[in-house]
Amino acid sequence: MNVIETSGLGKRYRRTWALQDCALAVPAGHVVALVGPNGAGETTLLHMSVGLTAPTAGRVTVLGGELAGSPAALDGIAFVAQDTPLYKNLSVTDTLHLARNLNRRWDQGHAEARLAELGIPLGKKAGQLSGGQQAQLALTLALARRPQLLVLDEPLAMLDPLARHDFMAAVMAAVAEDGVSVVLSSHVLAELERVADYLILLSNGRVQVAGEVDDLLAHHRVLTGPAAQAAECSKRLALVHARTAQAQAHLLVRASSPADPVPAGWEAHPVSLEELVLGYLREPGAAALPGPAGARAGTSMEVTA
């Protein structure tokens, strides 16, 4: 089952396309990292997937073919927005009561047990909680709906390192215990590298990379070698991004298979998720959708002192 599937999906605001020609098929059972620079279209994609925004073009379905925003889709999806929207003047108890009345699926016992474990007082107003506690309360409201798909839009942006760790630990516990699929939009690459096993990378409103992290990393490598040979070497490779520093060059390349030969005089090194993401973000024309195979990517060079 695909938890999110899109075909020709696009969203235009007046004359500006926030997202164009988006084609995705995200299988269930993954923690999906949705990454891109500011304005790349991540929030737009998430909002259309949960039914908050209607597409201008194309189609998006969720949970094996349910139309995004339909009652069947809404029953199976929980969404936590970036600003963790809560009624600040309501107590935690009243917040739970409101959520219970607004949702057809609701596990009150799970919500109360989780808040007790976190030490969040039920009588305290939501606006008086710390930023980390507010994020945990918003996550509790989402998980108490017992969703099949949990969609998180920049939930870590305003949290300190300890609160980020605790938040993601709770998300991963839900994945392990309840089999929840997760789509997580974030700019915290170090955190994503620790938890994500599927990557969607957007740039300029288009999908640039999509696939399982292990497969993407296996089909990319960093080559180091003489800077004088970098331009010639790049012509024969599926180059994503090149950087030269004095006499040495570092080339992020896409391989047709992990067994591709290494050019003479060059050394191959494994690539990290952070290196992969940054390489494609620096070269928005280096398309690799839906997988590592395809036409040669862009070949511009970055020179550093």
pLDDT at position 291 is 42
Q: What pLDDT is stored for residue 155 in this prediction?
A: 84
3-state secondary structure of 161: helix
- Strand-pairing partners, residue 226, are 248
For 66-83, letters b (16+ CB in 10 Å) and e give: bebbeeebbbbbbbbbbe
Residue ranges per domain, the chain? 2-213, 220-304
Here the contacts of 162-168 (C-beta below 8 Å, separation 24 or greater) are: 162/132, 163/130, 163/131, 163/132, 163/135, 164/188, 164/191, 166/132, 166/136, 167/132, 167/135, 167/136, 167/139, 168/194, 168/195
Task: Give 10-residue mean pLDDT values along the chain (305 residues).
Answer: 96 93 95 91 94 95 95 94 87 96 93 94 94 93 96 86 89 93 90 91 90 93 88 82 85 83 88 91 60 37 38
pLDDT at 26: 95
Q: Which CATH architecture has domain 2-213?
A: 3-Layer(aba) Sandwich (3.40)
pLDDT of residue 284: 61
For residues 206 and 280, the answer to whether their CB atoms sit within 8 Å is: no
| Structure tokens given for 236 | 């024969």
